[in-house]
Chain A
Amino acid sequence: MTPQGNLMVLATVTAGRESELRTLLASMNRQPGVVDPDNALVPFRRLDRIHFARFVILDDRTLDDITIYKLPRVDYPLSVAFIADFDGPQNSFIDELERIAGSGLARIFACCGFGGGDLKAWMKEHRTKPAANYVNTVGRTMLEVREEAALRDFICTYLRGAGAPVVAKMTPAQVRKTLRELVKSSGIKLTPPAPTPIGWRISQLINFITGLLFIPLAILFLPILIPLGIIYLIILRLHETTDAEVDRRAAPDVQRKLAEIEDHDVANQFSAMGSLKPGWFRLLNISIGLVVINWTARHIFTRGHLGRVQTIHFARWVYLNDRKRLYFASNYDGSLDSYMDDFINKVGFGLNLVFSNGIGYPRTNYLVFDGAKDEQKFKRYIRRHQLPTEVWYDAHPGRTAVDLARNTRIREGLERSSMSDADTRQWLQLF
């Protein structure tokens, strides 16, 4: 298995070069929200390890919010991020990037302080690691995605066309046998997974055990933890009951600009940023929250769902400016409103855990309750913090995470040497 890697290059836009940068980024799109996968600057299609990639200008429109804490507004310099989720290790990906898109990237990053020279070194210098990262299905490579999609389309085309009369009178087992033979003779390639890198395995194991260690430790220190927990709760309630909400609609023209680039594909991009509430308590809160999310995403939510949500392909949480601000990015299926509904109803508690540490978030109770369940406030909060993603690339347009999972099940079923009748019927229902 080849685990996915990720990269985020974050750089400050040189004063006076913002509009040049925007023009360059816009030139990669056929129309706002629709990238040209063969564009001259970063020909994504040729970077065939990429699942999703984006350029986003981190232009926070909510910097004034901090003044509700009687703190002065800070004008952070404008920055731009390039983000990619891809197969395999980061280093070789950066090599490929330079080889295939080096000149285009150099032009883009020239607006952000890249003065020529070693682009790879420059990108590495400007890397930012996510505090938490989520991958829908760990180890499902783009090669696998493409091969399985081709397999599924091939079988479906057959079943609906020439194959329909052939399989009409067959038993489920005979149908499966027919399909297996057909696929074999068709020359459709199903590459077996590559061996899992040993280094990755070890680091996973260490990380897993470190996380687990907290359980016995917690039991051991229970006598101390209980009073600490009570103190924590008191402080939490003090914050929760006094933290001010910032409840405003995003300006209509901003909302229109966001909408303009959404819903061109069955999947969508989401980018948002905001400032964290000041003070050590909220910092502690979010630090723990993101460590927990990252750990569970690495070890528990690795097979197609984050909690009950099955529509997120990749997601990341990134601290900015010494943990004063947070950036969130995701690639998800459906439209933003259905995504938000899903979130509110299915993982409201998880959202609250993290985002309630952001300034102005709808009031939570006991960290996980309410908050997002104040539906319209939450949606206004989201829209207000959302950033237009200037360029967005989806390597498998038209296919949702559920589609990819189904295609994997089709392949697995096809490759199994034997199958019970009940399983065969279930498998055939996938087409």
Chain B
Amino acid sequence: MPSAIDKSDVQGLVRTAFNDMIEARFHAVEIIDVTSARAWLQSVLALVNNSVAPKEGGDPAQKERALQLAFSWSGLRKLGVPAGTADGFSLEFQSGMSGEANRSRRLGDVGGDAPEQWKWGGPNNVADLVVMIYKIDNLAAWETEVQGPLWSKAFREVTQPLDTSHLDNDIEPFGFKDGLSQPKVDWALSRKAKREEFDFGNLITAGEFLLGYPNEYNKLTERPTVAEKEDPNRILMPAEGAPGRRDFGLNGTYLVFRDLTQDVRGLWQFLDKQSAGDRDARLQLGALAVGRTTKGDPLVPLSEKPIAGIEPKEEKDNRFTYDSDPTGTRCPIGAHIRRANPRVADMPSDTKGFFKRALRLLGFGAPRPDDDLVSSVRFHRVLRRGREYGPELKPDDAVKQTTPDGIPRGLRFICLNANITRQFEFVQQAWSMGTKFAGLTEQSDPLLGNRTAINGCLTTATFTVPQDTGLARCIEGVPQFVSLRGGGYFFLPSIRALRYIASLP
């Protein structure tokens, strides 16, 4: 197993969200001329940011501007990446986010959100690559430099350039502080995942976010390799554990792109109606739906003990689990962040002592009937790297807006993971869209849910706020606030793999 990660070989997005670079634009493109595309790739190779921070001796220019490149399976094939990599690329990557009806069913991409309805990334306009451009200011000049003279010969944009915006105080369009909780990636390779982890931890093995390193099962995730003769210039590293092969996957990862629109007015007017026009009440209800206040404060008290992988400076935002709130009377079980990260370990939290452990292992001794319904989260983490778009619309203004202003707002949701099915898809499907998450029923994520009817269920459009006093407060008829306009599954190659792609004949 590798003993260190060569950060100069990893695209910078894995390490950072480039938050200082508040201007960004993404281009989803189709390759129309392979030779030009490859020549373009050659021309920008030196501009792609790696993961070495400037203070660690990285290129100082990386502080000011960034370029990142991710390819879909069709893009890689067009550029001549050997067909044999198919054995190592995951099947979900190869079939794509919109490639199968089953996947769309699972992800909740049905009805108005079905791939046929997307602006880009659907069956007829899959992007071959996304070109992601970031800058601290004056993005346009940097964009022109990146695109260079070959751009329009090489590519056709499958959709208008995907603009982003930066809202003050790091809020997302609904008005909630975002970007607070992320898994801490074990860059030092110091963590060896144990068979059974009894405490929730936030330090996650590098192999969950980068190919070529041990993951939370202490195994290497499957990854693409090429035959030695397919890499005559020896650009790639020898593939460990695969004699005669070179490692195309090492230091790469998968990038999931979901182009989401947010109905800011719709959300706040609905919350307002449920709160009979009371400002504090609607903010509070919003906080219950998200699981944090608009300012980002968690709804449950901080844990007494520190949590591995939560840095001192983020303790007030993140040193918590839901152990103190099993029934969800403080933070509803169905709140967005409680679904997206239920913060549970492999075994229920009260599993101390041999006898108790054995009993719980067999499923007995639960303090409550709906205990232990959620999978251990360490296998289901993603690194979120998305960007907002659209101008700010403050909750108070959203409530007052009589007719929609027609200005699109939303989130270009991006996340990184080594195993799309086990990480992103699981979170999206079993936790966010799942109408049966953690013993709930008739509801999906209050922010994200598509409210599609399910055979045998009265509705899927509720949101319950459990109460200590007994009956939950049940919010009914929750509309859909977030919809999907496009997206795809991409591979974010290592710097070496980028050079390799650019060098292909």
Q: Which chain A residues have a beta carbon within 8 Å of chain B's beta carbons?
A: 153, 156-157, 159-160, 167, 172, 175, 249, 252, 255-256, 259-260, 262-266, 300-301, 304-310, 333-335, 337-338, 341-342, 345, 369, 373-376, 396-400, 402-403, 405-406, 409, 424-425, 427-429, 431
Check if A260 sits within 8 Å of B436, measured CB to CB.
Answer: no
Check if A429 sits within 8 Å of B454, measured CB to CB.
Answer: no
Fill in one digit per residue for B431-472: 1 if any A CB lies within 8 Å of its CB, else 0.
000111001010000000000001111100010001111111
Q: Return chain A residues, CB-CB under 8 Å to B430.
A: 334-335, 338
Check if A428 sits within 8 Å of B455, measured CB to CB.
Answer: no
**CA separation between A255 and B434, bound complex, in Å?**
23
Known contacts: A338-B426, A400-B436. The answer to whether A159 contacts B471 by CB under 8 A is: yes
**CA separation between A83 and B371, bound complex, in Å?**
32
Check if B363 sits within 8 Å of A263, measured CB to CB.
Answer: no
Determine how close the nearest CB of chain B comes to the CB of A172; give it in whole angstroms.
4
Check if B422 sits within 8 Å of A337, measured CB to CB.
Answer: yes
Closest to A370 in B: B195
Cβ-neighbour of A309 out of B363, B376, B429 (below 8 A):
B363
Known contacts: A159-B471, A252-B91, A256-B100. The answer to whether A398 contacts B362 by CB under 8 A is: no
Check if B426 sits within 8 Å of A306, measured CB to CB.
Answer: no
Known contacts: A259-B100, A373-B195. The answer to whether A345 contacts B375 by CB under 8 A is: yes
Closest to A369 in B: B195
Check if A156 sits within 8 Å of B458, measured CB to CB.
Answer: yes
Check if B470 sits within 8 Å of A301, measured CB to CB.
Answer: no
**CA separation between A400 and B441, bound complex, in Å?**
9
Indicate whether B105 reaches chain A with its CB closer than 8 angstroms: yes
Check if B91 sits within 8 Å of A345, measured CB to CB.
Answer: no
Residue pairs across A and B with Cβ atoms less than 8 A apart, 30 shown, are A159-B474, A175-B471, A256-B95, A256-B100, A259-B100, A260-B102, A263-B105, A263-B106, A305-B363, A307-B361, A310-B363, A310-B372, A333-B436, A334-B434, A338-B375, A341-B375, A342-B375, A397-B455, A398-B454, A398-B457, A399-B456, A400-B441, A402-B439, A425-B468, A428-B470, A428-B471, A429-B466, A429-B467, A429-B472, A431-B471
Question: Interface residue tally of chain B, by bracket?
Answer: 35 or more
Check if B425 sits within 8 Å of A337, measured CB to CB.
Answer: yes
Cβ-neighbour of B217 out of A375, A403, A424 (below 8 A):
A375
Closest to A431 in B: B471
Indicate whether B476 reaches chain A with its CB closer than 8 angstroms: yes
- Of A159, A252, A310, A373, most buried by chain B (CB within 10 Å of CB) is A310
Q: Return chain B residues, CB-CB under 8 Å to A397.
A: 455-456
Cβ-neighbour of A345 out of B94, B346, B436 (below 8 A):
B346
**CA separation between A333 and B222, bound complex, in Å?**
27
Check if B472 sits within 8 Å of A431, measured CB to CB.
Answer: yes
Closest to A262 in B: B102
Q: Return chain B residues, CB-CB under 8 Å to A334.
A: 430, 434, 436
Indicate whether B101 reaches chain A with its CB closer than 8 angstroms: yes
Determine how close the nearest CB of chain B comes to the CB of A146; give it in whole angstroms.
11
Check if B219 sits within 8 Å of A260, measured CB to CB.
Answer: no
Q: Return chain A residues, CB-CB under 8 Å to B262.
A: none
Q: List 9 additional contacts besides A249-B91, A307-B361, A333-B436; criterion CB under 8 Å.
A: A175-B470, A260-B102, A304-B369, A334-B430, A335-B106, A341-B422, A375-B219, A376-B219, A399-B456
Determine how close the nearest CB of chain B comes to the CB of A396; give it in whole angstroms.
7
Check if B217 sits within 8 Å of A308, measured CB to CB.
Answer: no
Q: Return chain A residues, CB-CB under 8 Å to B372.
A: 308, 310
Determine how close the nearest CB of chain A comes to the CB of B125; give it in whole angstroms.
22
Cβ-neighbour of B373 out of A259, A307, A310 (below 8 A):
A310
Q: Return chain B residues, CB-CB under 8 Å to A403.
A: 436, 441
Q: Return chain A residues, CB-CB under 8 Å to B379.
A: 341, 345
Binding site of B, secondary structure by majority: helix, strand, loop or mixed? loop
- The residues in B between 205 and 230 inclusive whose CB is less than 8 angstroms from any CB of A are 217, 219, 221-222
Cβ-neighbour of A308 out of B94, B360, B455, B470 (below 8 A):
B360
**CA separation between A374 and B216, bound complex, in Å?**
11
**CA separation between A224 and B435, bound complex, in Å?**
54
Q: Return chain A residues, CB-CB under 8 Å to B87.
A: 249
Q: Return chain B residues, CB-CB under 8 Å to A409.
A: 369
**CA separation between A197 and B87, bound complex, in Å?**
56
Check if B471 sits within 8 Å of A373, measured CB to CB.
Answer: no
**CA separation between A345 and B369, bound complex, in Å?**
20
Closest to B474 in A: A160
Determine how close the nearest CB of chain B comes to the CB of A373; give it in whole angstroms.
6
Closest to B368 in A: A426
Q: Return chain B residues, CB-CB under 8 Å to A259.
A: 100, 102-103
- The residues in B between 36 and 78 inclusive whose CB is less than 8 angstroms from any CB of A are none
Cβ-neighbour of B222 out of A263, A301, A376, A399 (below 8 A):
A376
Check if B436 sits within 8 Å of A172, measured CB to CB.
Answer: no
**CA separation between A405 and B466, bound complex, in Å?**
19
Indicate whether B182 reaches chain A with its CB closer than 8 angstroms: no
Cβ-neighbour of B426 out of A167, A264, A337, A427 (below 8 A):
A337
**CA separation between A428 and B327, bound complex, in Å?**
12
Determine how close the nearest CB of chain B comes to the CB of A335; give it in whole angstroms.
6
Closest to A383 in B: B91
Check if B101 sits within 8 Å of A260, measured CB to CB.
Answer: yes
